[in-house]
Amino acid sequence: MVVCSDVQDRCWRQWIVDGAQALGVSVTAAQAAQMARCAAELLAWNRRINLTAITDPAQMAFKHFVDAVVPAPWLPEGGRVLDVGCGAGFPGIPLKMVRPDLHLMLIDAVRKKISFVSHLIRMLGLTAAVARHLRLEELGRQAPRPAFDVIVCRAVGPLNTWLTDAVELLAEGGSVLAWKGPAVDEELAALRRSGDPADRIRLGDGWATVALTAYRLPVIGDRRTLVRITPLG
């Protein structure tokens, strides 16, 4: 592996381009440069307030940025996307960079993280993107209730603790995309009963289809599973 000591080095941007390509996603040189600017700003803010534990350049490149853009080709043109528990802006901000057509809302319960994400949106000139200091259940109580084509979620908690609130915010035909690690089978099992089909889970009185995409992050080799959940009816 090429050693890259700074997120603003050319080799770091090449990690983004090559790593995304290895997972079937096209990232331009300009988009990689935008991600490098985002990474540098995150590190600068992180020295003052704790936003991320991931500060090594390679870990940042692949865990924060390459991992975030994996589902970019799947998202509908001009789709309305909600990033739940966005933290320092992942996966929503990198997705918006490679898919500028998306209409993005990012929410998090931690105000300092939303302050940073709002700053990023302004600094990077991202249009049709907004960050709000809000919990998922609070968003669901708003009137009129917003509707999203895709809801993305990474590192928020077990599926059974938030999925019901999320699907209530989906537009007809919409899906939830959740990044998961080794515990994915146990989390899905908690939403099934004995004899239920392997490609479905229960959502209240209804069902949802489940599709799993397993992959390894290039260079660092971490395993991931992207879970796509689509309510039926």
pLDDT in tens, 3-39: 788 999 999 999 999 999 999 999 999 999 999 999 9
Q: Which residues pair with 225 in a beta bridge?
A: 180, 214
Distance CA 128, CA 167 (A): 22
Quick: pLDDT tens for 86-108: 999 999 999 999 999 999 999 99
Global pTM reads 0.95
DSSP string, 51-92: --S--SHHHIIIIIIIGGGTTGGGSPTT-EEEEET-TTTTTH
Residue type, 190: A
Q: What is the pLDDT of residue 64?
A: 96
Mean pLDDT of 125-154: 95
pLDDT tier for residue 40 given thresholds of 50, 70 and 90: very high
Number of Cβ atoms within 10 Å of the Cβ of 145: 10
Q: Which of 5, 12, 117, 6 is nearest to 61 (CA)?
A: 12
Closest CA to 216 of 92, 67, 98: 67
Distance CA 174, CA 150 (A): 6
Specify the range with the lowest mean pLDDT, choosing from 81-90, 179-188, 214-223: 179-188
- The CATH topology of domain 67-231 is Rossmann fold (3.40.50)
**Nearest 10 degrees: Cα torsion 40, 218, 56, 223:** 120
> Has residue 67 got a pLDDT over 90?
yes
Whole-number pLDDT of residue 155: 78
Q: Do 227 and 156 form a contact (C-beta atoms < 8 A)?
A: no
- Strand 223-231 relative to strand 170-180, pairing: antiparallel
pLDDT in tens, 160-196: 999 999 999 999 999 999 999 888 989 999 999 888 8
Q: What is the mean pLDDT of the chain?
A: 94
What percent of the chain is predicted at pLDDT more than 70?
Answer: 99
pLDDT of 82 higher than 70:
yes
Residue 133 Cα distances to 163, 168, 189, angstroms? 19, 19, 32
Of 128, 75, 77, 82, which Cα lies nearest the Cα of 105? 82
**pLDDT, position 1:** 55
**Annotated domain spans of the chain:** 67-231
